[in-house]
Chains A and B, each alone.
Chain A
Amino acid sequence: MKALKSAAFYLLVAFIVFIAVFPFYYAIITSFKTGTALFQIDYWPTTFSLDNYRDVFNQGGFFRNILNSVLIASVTVCLSLLLAVTASYALARVRFRGRGLLLMTILAVSMFPQIAVLSGLFEMVRFIGIYNTPWALILSYTIFTLPFTVWVLTTFMRDLPIEIEEAAIIDGATPWQIITKVFMPLMWPALVTTGLLAFIGAWNEFLFALTFTSSTETRTVPVAIGMLSGASQYETPWGIIMAASVLVTVPIVILVLVFQRKIVAGLTAGGVKG
């Protein structure tokens, strides 16, 4: 009975892993197939060809798209973290009137539908003259990366012991010194995690990227992949799409697996604690 039970349990575990991993696995084996092999359904790798990967870059612009994505996501994350560190110190460590309301507003901004600001942002982007440039995306991505980083860093800072801060206050440290000299050294792990999560968010964004760019050279990776299509649905270049998908997903998956524990902690920080 007991053996049966644990066999059933491991079967369930195997099923979960299979469902989670299979689509990615299938994308990888498809990306190595070309020509007619592409249209034979295989469960195991049968052919190995890097032609699709070569074609992705020969299509023109894909390398540029990757650079765009890296640049936009990095700048957005750095700006957000810069603004969030001081703000989250104030929100986590100083008691003032309206703090709860401010926190609620910040959470609300990170949750509200991006489409609700689309026309206003469109006008703004056109007015400033940054339409179809990386700056349009850096500006618009701040809408979700900034509240998110503030929120997670605030929950993190709230959990740091009060004693270290008290000691610094007694030594006559100003709030600015407390942040830079006392909290910053303790915050590196949290900054890396939050930054990584915000980076993934910016890397994956689609709506703003689709709306605020209009040429191949300015597109980010998700839009480039979304646009990789033939004239009709029968001409869709599946091999190339899968190769591009694998290319942009592998680095993210590796990052996520390396920082697994921290990411899980960061994801749950906003939701469960408190």
Chain B
Amino acid sequence: MQQAELQAQRIRAAMWFLLPMIAALAFVAAYPLLRSIYFSFTDTTLTSLYTGQWVGFDNYLNWRTLPSGRTIYRGTLVDPAWWNAVWNTVRFAFVSVSIEAILGLMVALVLNANFHGRGLVRAAILIPWAIPTIVSAKMWAWMLNDQFGIVNDMLFNIGLISEKIAWTANVDTAMWAVLMVDIWKTTPFMALLCLAGLQMIPRDVYEASKIDGVHPIKVFFKITLPLVKPALMVAIIFRMLDALRIFDLVYVLTPNSAATKTMSVISRENLIEFDKFAYGSAQSTLLFLMIALFVTLYIWLGKVDLSGDKQ
């Protein structure tokens, strides 16, 4: 009886402990999110924040039939610039996360081996992670400069290119420039998460397969990969969510380039710069829905346990 009383007291205390945090999150996250979604159904502008009228789905899609009988469709869902941004974002997310997963796993395998100077290498790969995104964007913008950039110089000296490339300005290479910087910056994060997963694999599993004379490549695909998969999956979903909302790198490295403009960039552009506040809100709401759908699918399909409760 006394134990039940103690438990009840603990739960009451827990509620009081949680309350400030929940209130803070409701204030800074839940309320603004709901307001943003609300704005997407109004005709609010930056100058008339409080007098916007409800317009239903007009920012998403609306049509009007002209007297001539022609129907005109308007709204985000028929805006080619928006679909271009969606395609850029999805393409960026899939390519960057796939390459980062492969490279990250490779780096993690290297770091998991026993060799002299391992601590030094781990310290070195932390550097890209520690550098602020804006700073790395600027650093790489300089290295990728068409006339004076060292990347062109290196590629030219090796003989890979015959003329200098305007990496960030050229529509064909702008996305590659963004990918390059993102991969450089976030592979360390992937590698560290994979490394933590690798270190949880008991050593005797490897010893047993060594005694049995199993080929190292088979060991990797039959033992290492399945055992590191949970850690890798979590790393991939974290990175994926991060990649889908990318803003700063694109904004600074390739300003105003249609070849790289992502959903976050185009939403902010409409919201603040073009004074299409409600229209931008509709776009940010669509991005939110897309990410929410992605997470739901991922958890449902992959049966990933993110709650952290021990099985």
Q: Which residues in A have some Cβ–Cβ distance to B below 8 Å?
A: 9-10, 12-13, 16-17, 19-21, 23-24, 26-27, 30, 38-39, 41, 43, 83-84, 86-87, 89-91, 94, 96, 100, 102-104, 106-109, 111-124, 126-127, 139-140, 142-143, 146-147, 150, 154-155, 158, 169, 174-176, 179, 200, 203-204, 206-207, 210-211, 221-223, 225-226, 233, 238, 241-242, 245, 248-249, 252-253, 255-257, 260, 263-264, 267-268, 271-274
Partner of A119, one of B29, B36, B251: B36
- A117, B308: Cβ atoms closer than 8 Å: no
A143 and B132 CA atoms in complex are apart in Å by 19
Closest 4 CB pairs of A and B: A120-B32, A120-B35, A113-B245, A274-B308
Q: Nearest residue in A to B116 (C-beta to C-beta)?
A: A10
Chain A residues within 8 Å of B292, by CB:
112
Closest CB of chain A to B45's CB: distance in Å? 11
- Say yes or no for B211: interface residue by CB 8 A criterion: no
Q: Nearest residue in A to B23 (C-beta to C-beta)?
A: A83
Partner of B138, one of A104, A126, A245, A263: A245
- A120, B33: Cβ atoms closer than 8 Å: yes
Contact with A along B138-165 (1 / 0, CB 8 A): 1110110101111001000000000000
**Most chain-B Cβ atoms within 10 A of its Cβ — which of A115, A139, A222?**
A115
Partner of A225, one of B13, B138, B143, B193: B138
A253 and B164 CA atoms in complex are apart in Å by 32
Q: Nearest residue in B to A82 (C-beta to C-beta)?
A: B20
A204 and B249 CA atoms in complex are apart in Å by 11
Chain B residues within 8 Å of A264, by CB:
122, 126, 192, 196
Q: Nearest residue in B to A121 (C-beta to C-beta)?
A: B32
Chain B residues within 8 Å of A175, by CB:
9-10, 13-14, 17
If the complex has contacts A120-B35, A120-B39, A274-B309, are A248 and B18 also in contact, measured as CB distance less than 8 A? Answer: no
If the complex has contacts A248-B132, A257-B126, A273-B308, are A19 and B184 also in contact, measured as CB distance less than 8 A? Answer: yes
- B35, A124: Cβ atoms closer than 8 Å: yes
Partner of A200, one of B18, B130, B153, B200: B130
Q: Nearest residue in A to B153 (C-beta to C-beta)?
A: A41
**27 pairs of residues in contact across A and B, judged by CB atoms under 8 Å:** A12-B110, A17-B125, A20-B184, A23-B128, A24-B128, A86-B18, A86-B21, A90-B18, A94-B14, A109-B29, A115-B287, A118-B284, A122-B271, A126-B49, A142-B24, A175-B10, A206-B133, A207-B268, A211-B272, A222-B133, A222-B134, A225-B134, A241-B142, A242-B139, A260-B119, A264-B126, A271-B193
If the complex has contacts A111-B241, A118-B284, A146-B25, are A268 and B31 also in contact, measured as CB distance less than 8 A? Answer: no
- B17, A207: Cβ atoms closer than 8 Å: no
**Most chain-B Cβ atoms within 10 A of its Cβ — which of A204, A225, A267, A268?**
A268
A139 and B28 CA atoms in complex are apart in Å by 7
Closest CB of chain A to B243's CB: distance in Å? 11
Contact with A along B277-311 (1 / 0, CB 8 A): 10011001101100110010000000001111110
If the complex has contacts A20-B124, A115-B267, are A104 and B148 also in contact, measured as CB distance less than 8 A? Answer: no
Chain B residues within 8 Å of A96, by CB:
11, 14-15
Closest CB of chain A to B269's CB: distance in Å? 11
- A225, B135: Cβ atoms closer than 8 Å: yes
Main secondary structure of the interface of B (DSSP, over half): helix
Q: Nearest residue in B to A89 (C-beta to C-beta)?
A: B17
Chain A residues within 8 Å of B208, by CB:
none
Q: Nearest residue in B to A222 (C-beta to C-beta)?
A: B134
Extra pairs beyond A143-B28, A255-B130 (17, CB < 8 Å) = A13-B110, A16-B121, A17-B125, A102-B18, A104-B307, A113-B284, A117-B33, A119-B280, A123-B35, A142-B24, A146-B21, A179-B17, A206-B248, A207-B268, A226-B137, A238-B145, A241-B138
If the complex has contacts A123-B35, A241-B138, A260-B122, are A274 and B305 also in contact, measured as CB distance less than 8 A? Answer: yes
Partner of A23, one of B140, B192, B196, B244: B140
Chain B residues within 8 Å of A84, by CB:
21
- Say yes or no for B235: interface residue by CB 8 A criterion: yes
- Say yes or no for B123: interface residue by CB 8 A criterion: yes
